[in-house]
Amino acid sequence: GIRTDVYQYTSGMDPEEFVLLAVQHYYIIHGKDVEPDKMKQVIQDILPSSYIIPQSGDGKIVTKKGKAAINEKQLDSMVELAVTKDADFKRVIKRLKQKFKGRDQVKREIKKDVILYAQNKWPITFSRVFEIQMLSGPLVDEIPFGNISVGRDKIRFYASDTFILLSELNYSEVTEIIGDHDPVLNYHHYTLQTVYGDYTFTLPMGADLGILLNLIHKNLKEKSTLAIAQKDYKPTKRGGGKLELLRGDIIVLDSESKNNVAAGVMTGVNDRTNREGEFPVDIVYIIPCTSKPESKVLRGLVLHVMKRAVDLNQDIEQQDHVNLHTLEAYAQKYFRSRKTTAWYYEATEIKGPLLHRFDGQVELSAKAVSMFRAMMAYAMMTPVERKKITQSDLDSIFDYAFEKNKALKEELYCQLVKQLTFCPDLKIETRIWELLWLLTGVLVPGKILFHHVTLFLRSSSNPVALECYNRIQKIQRQGERARGPHVIECSANVNRVKIRQYVYFPNGLEQDFVVESTTKASELVSNICRELKFVPSSANGLSLYLESNKQPVSIPSNTYFFDFLTQLRGHDKKKLDYKIHFRRKLWIDIIPGDDKQADSIVHFYQEKDNYMLGLHKLEVEEAANLAALLGRADRGKGAPEANLSNFVPAYLVKATSQSDWAKKIYAATGNLRDVNEEEAKVRFLKHVAAWSTYGTTMYPIKNDTESEFPENIYICINQNGVEIVDANTKESLSKYPYYNLNYNSNAISIFLEVRMGRSSKKYTFDTEIGDIIGDLIDDYMKIAENEGKQDD
Q: How confident is the model at residue 62 (pLDDT cuts 50, 70, 90)?
A: very low
**Alpha-carbon distances of 368 from 24, 294, 354, 501, 710, rounded to whole Å:** 67, 37, 8, 34, 59
Mean pLDDT within 50-74: 47
Residue 246 is predicted with a pLDDT of 86
* 523-582 tens-digit pLDDT: 999 999 999 999 999 999 999 999 987 788 999 999 999 999 888 775 445 566 889 999
* 710-750 tens-digit pLDDT: 999 999 999 999 999 999 888 999 999 998 899 999 989 99
Task: Please give the single-letter amino acid code of residue 309.
Answer: A
Residue 114 is predicted with a pLDDT of 64
Do residues 285 and 228 touch, judged by C-beta distance below 8 A? yes
Distance CA 618, CA 11 (A): 41
Mean pLDDT within 465-473: 93
On the question of pLDDT at 29 being above 60, the answer is: yes
For 768, residues 6+ apart whose C-beta sits below 8 A from its C-beta are 550, 551, 747, 748
On the question of pLDDT at 310 being above 50, the answer is: no
Residue 93 is predicted with a pLDDT of 56
DSSP 609-652: HHHHHT-S---HHHHHHHHHHHHHH-GGG--GGG-GGGTS-HHH
Which run of H or E residues covers position 208?
A: helix 207-223
Beta bridge partners of 189: 180, 202
Residue 133 is predicted with a pLDDT of 84
On the question of pLDDT at 353 being above 90, the answer is: yes
Q: Residue 619's CB: how many other CB atoms inside 10 A?
A: 9
On the question of pLDDT at 322 being above 80, the answer is: no
Among candidate residues 79, 83, 26, 15, the one with its CA nearest the CA of residue 48: 15
Residue 73 is predicted with a pLDDT of 66
Residue 436 is predicted with a pLDDT of 98
**What's the whole-model pTM score?**
0.61
Mean pLDDT within 203-210: 84
Cα-Cα-Cα-Cα torsion 606, 609, 615, 621, nearest 10 degrees, comes to 110
Residue 53 is predicted with a pLDDT of 46
Mean pLDDT within 609-618: 89
Residue 57 is predicted with a pLDDT of 41
Distance CA 691, CA 688 (A): 5
Which of 115 and 255 is assigned the larger pLDDT? 255
For 287, how many CA atoms within 13 A lie in the half-sphere containing its CB? 29
Q: What order do you get walking across the sheet with 250-253 strand by strand?
A: 276-280, 265-270, 250-253, 226-229, 284-286
Domains of the chain: 15-121 (1.20.80), 124-222 (2.30.29.30), 224-312 (2.30.30.40), 328-494 (1.25.40.530), 499-530+541-578 (3.10.20.90), 596-682 (1.20.80.10), 697-791 (2.30.29.30)
* 663-689 tens-digit pLDDT: 999 999 888 888 899 999 999 999 999
Residue 481 is predicted with a pLDDT of 95
Mean pLDDT within 352-373: 94
Percentage, residues of the chain above pLDDT 70: 79
Beta bridge partners of 159: 146
Mean pLDDT within 302-324: 52
Q: Find the length of the chain.
A: 792
Mean pLDDT within 461-465: 87
Do residues 438 and 395 touch, judged by C-beta distance below 8 A? no
Residue 313 is predicted with a pLDDT of 38
Residue 139 is predicted with a pLDDT of 79
Which 3 state secondary structure label does DSSP give 530? helix
Which of 442 and 274 is assigned the larger pLDDT? 442
Mean pLDDT within 645-669: 90
Among candidate residues 406, 474, 415, 407, the one with its CA nearest the CA of residue 440: 474
On the question of pLDDT at 235 being above 90, the answer is: no
On the question of pLDDT at 789 being above 90, the answer is: no
Which of 604 and 143 is assigned the larger pLDDT? 604
Q: How confident is the model at residue 97 (pLDDT cuts 50, 70, 90)?
A: low
On the question of pLDDT at 319 being above 50, the answer is: no
The dihedral region occupied by 613, where left means phi > 0, alpha psi between -120 and 50, and beta the remainder, is alpha
